[in-house]
Amino acid sequence: MLPIDCCTQPALSKRRVLHDSSHASETVVQCACEAYWFHRFHEWSNFDGPDDLTTWYTRLTAAEAERLLTADKPDLGFLPTKPSIMVDANGVQRVDGQPDRTYGGT
Ligand SMILES: [Zn+2]
């Protein structure tokens, strides 16, 4: 079950992958209800225990989505101050924003 709240039965399709590696990804996705979300995934390797997996979803306006889908190098600077949904080992939380870059290289 997706933690997003644009509609009652969210179903996401990838629209543009901005970054993708084995430990991190940034993807513009669109729900079946047409809402756009920015999806970020990051895995912190932890040699002392289980890996720490974190996912963020940020709802995008149509204008924001259009920019991210068409720009050569999309500016993600607005993400840290845009209310987001974060999912990690502690569950689903509402947060004030999400990172605007991947951590620790690729
Ligand atoms: Zn939806």
Q: Is 4 inside any structural domain?
A: no
Out of 37-41, 48-52, 62-66, 76-80, which region has the weakest mean confidence (pLDDT)? 48-52
Query: Model confidence over 14-52: pLDDT tens digits?
Result: 999 999 998 899 999 999 999 999 999 998 877 777 778
pLDDT band at 106; cut points 50, 70, 90: very low
The boundaries of the domain holding residue 39 are 15-95
Q: Is 33 inside any structural domain?
A: yes
Total domains in the chain come to: 1
SS3 letters for 18-74?
A: EEECCCEEEEEEEECCCCEEEEEEEEECCCCCCCEEEEEEEEECHHHHHHHHHCCCC
Q: Is 52 inside any structural domain?
A: yes
pLDDT of 56 reads: 97
As a whole number, the mean pLDDT across the chain is 92
Q: Is 101 inside any structural domain?
A: no
Q: Is 79 inside any structural domain?
A: yes
CA of 46 to the centre of ligand 1 (A): 34
CA of 47 to the centre of ligand 1 (A): 37
Q: Is 41 inside any structural domain?
A: yes
